[in-house]
Amino acid sequence: MILTIAAAVFVFGLLVLVHEWGHFITAKMTGMRVDEFAIGFGPKLISKRRGETVYSLRAIPLGGFNDIAGMDPENNTAGERGFCAKPVLSRMIVILAGAAMNFILPIVLFFAIYATLGEGQPATEPIIGGVIEGMSAEKAGIKEGDEILSVDGQDVATWKDFTDKLKNIEAGQNISLKFKRGEEINEVTVSPTYNEQEKRVLVGVQSSVVYERKSVAESFTLAIDHTKEITVFMIESIAKLFQEPEQTENLAGPIGIVQMSGQVAERGFIPLLNFAALLSINLGIINLLPVPALDGGHFVNLFIEAVRGKPLGAKAVAYTQRVGIALLLMLMLFATKNDLVRVFLK
């Protein structure tokens, strides 16, 4: 439990810090007055003023904010240094900077992993590198580090041998797995389940990983390419939510993310960094959606202002903000429902 909480605070804190720092630094660079830079919501735990800005850490670590003067044109106390008084381009840069930082963070994290450990590749040996919680292999007692020896009496020499033999197994069919743990040889029965997303049966194990060292230049290129691949995959996955409503069953909210953070942290710090990178990309994409109350919605308003030559009226902005907040609350409630079902009913 302590590890889960610590992992969740680390992941949420890192993502929020980077996102809000993007807004903060560009606001400062464009001459805006920032009254507060906060990590978290609710009561202040720690706060310190440096210059005109208060830097604070708040009690609920599920977000953060920048209090930029002049966000509300009718309550601009900063004059020419208020957000609303700056050129549209400056305001666009500030709005997009948070999401931009969420795409830069994964590049930095992946670069650090590639430059220090190298690029991970599936090992050829039939050694278990990870066991998925709740699936057949975990229920049968198989653990990370076990070496698969045979499937239904057929010898296994490589990980490919193992996966090839599983291809001929039907979902729900009991199969015998013989494996070696240390000097002890064991045999268990598992029942694979069909995974709709991967279109194949799975017993719930992952191969071990070997790392190949990379140069600094190679590490940087790989980090960019990997971030790009994940971004494309996530955009396609979000699009599927609108095309295939049943995919919404996979949505996770704060409870689910906290649970996943703990599970990933149990596998080590590097997997946790990978998880943080994935969430950061996801946060960046979500924030750019043209939904009022999100950064993407603010950007759309600014784009309309640039085309019209004047901002939207206060009533129009207020109305769209209320609609956006209502949509986000509905999505949050739905995702939380999914979390509760996964945690308590599965």
- Which of 5-9, 126-130, 198-202, 219-223 is most confident? 219-223
Rounded-to-10 torsion of CA 25, 31, 34, 35: 150
Higher pLDDT, 1 or 253: 1
Distance CA 262, CA 5 (A): 7
Q: CA–CA distance from 222 to each of 32, 64, 121, 123, 241 (Å)? A: 36, 31, 13, 19, 29
Catalytic residue ranges:
20
Q: Which has more pLDDT, 194 or 183?
A: 183
Task: Please report the pLDDT score of residue 247 as a whole number.
Answer: 57
Kindly give the interhelix angle for 295-308 and 314-345, rounded to the nearest 10 degrees.
Answer: 160
**DSSP secondary structure code for residue 79 in this structure:** G
Per-residue pLDDT tens for 147-162? Answer: 999 988 889 899 998 8
pTM of the model: 0.79
Determine the residue type at 228: K
Q: Quote the CA–CA distance of 31 and 49 in Å, as a whole number.
A: 18
From 158, 276, 272, 166, select the one nearest 208 (Cα to Cα): 158
**182 burial via Cβ count (<10 Å: 0-12, 13-18, 19+):** exposed
CA distances from 340 to 141, 197, 271, 336 (A): 26, 22, 24, 6
Please state the φ and ψ torsions of residue 194, each to the nearest 5 degrees. -85, 130
pLDDT one-digit tens code per residue, 191-226? 888 776 666 778 888 888 888 888 999 999 999 999
- Pairing of the two strands 193-195 and 53-68: unpaired
Structure-token pair, residue 63: 């977000």
Neighbours of 11 (CB within 10 A): 24
> Residue 100, by phi and psi: left (phi above 0), alpha (psi -120 to 50) or beta?
alpha
Phi-psi region of 248 (alpha: psi -120 to 50; beta: other; left: phi over 0): alpha
| Other CB atoms within 10 A of residue 191 CB | 17
Residue 225's H or E segment, with its range, is helix 216-243
Least-confidence region, from 251-260, 314-323, 335-344: 335-344
pLDDT-derived band of residue 249, with 50, 70 and 90 as boundaries? low
Residue 83's pLDDT band (boundaries 50, 70, 90)? very high
- Decide: residue 313, CB within 10 A, 0-12 exposed, 13-18 middle, 19+ buried: exposed
Q: Find, among 316, 289, 314, the residue nearest to 300 by Cα.
A: 289
Mean per-residue pLDDT, 268-283 = 89
CA distances from 89 to 34, 119, 221 (A): 18, 39, 30
CA distances 292 to 128, 202, 266, 286, Å, are 46, 41, 37, 12
For 281-291, write each residue's pLDDT tens digit.
988 998 898 88
To 10 degrees, the CA torsion angle through 317, 319, 320, 324? 130
Report CA-CA distances (Å) from 11 to 222, 245, 259, 283.
Answer: 23, 29, 12, 12
Measure the CA–CA gap between 81 and 183, rounded to whole angstroms.
71
State both tokens at 105: 């963070």
Mean pLDDT of 6-17: 87
